[in-house]
């Protein structure tokens, strides 16, 4: 994926005072990061990573039986989703 142009790539950049350039670059970087973070896929991935980190922390601190309960939704969600889809498909097509 191509990187969007930063503020330094525009023709007007030469007219911006040098003492304000750093602030504008920082604002532009924050705006791009915010736009990336609010995409649905990135939010889902971030939540899954945080959840897995919590599971790893539980495992490190010796909560072995609790870790199996914590990881269970991640393992069962695709199977339950497929089952629900199949049942709905079967109901409407037969």
The 3-state secondary structure of the chain, one letter per residue: CCCCCCHHHCHHHHHCCHHHHHHHHHHHHHHHHHHHHCCHHHHHHHHHHHHHHHHHHHHHCCCHHHHHHHHHHHHHHHHHHHHHHHHHHHHHHC
> Averaged over 77-89, what is the pLDDT?
87
pLDDT of residue 3: 54
How far apart (Å, rounded) are the C-alpha atoms in residues 54 and 92?
A: 40
Asked if residue 87 has pLDDT above 60, the reply is yes
In-domain check, residue 1: no
58 found inside a domain: yes
pLDDT of residue 81 exceeding 80, the answer is: yes
Domain that holds residue 56: 21-93
> Taking the CB of residue 58, how many other CB atoms lie within 10 A of it?
18
What is the total count of domains within the chain?
1
Please check the confidence at residue 42 and state whether its pLDDT lies above 60.
yes
């Amino acid at each position: 994926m191509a990187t969007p142009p930063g503020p330094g790539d525009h023709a007007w950049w030469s007219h911006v005072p040098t003492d304000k350039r750093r602030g504008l670059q920082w604002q532009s970087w924050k705006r791009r990061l915010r736009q990336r973070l609010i995409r649905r896929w990135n939010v889902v991935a971030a939540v899954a990573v945080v959840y897995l980190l919590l599971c790893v922390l539980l495992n490190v601190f010796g909560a072995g039986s609790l870790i199996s309960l914590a990881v269970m939704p991640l393992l069962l969600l695709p199977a339950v989703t497929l089952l629900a889809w199949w049942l709905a498909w079967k109901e409407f097509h037969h």
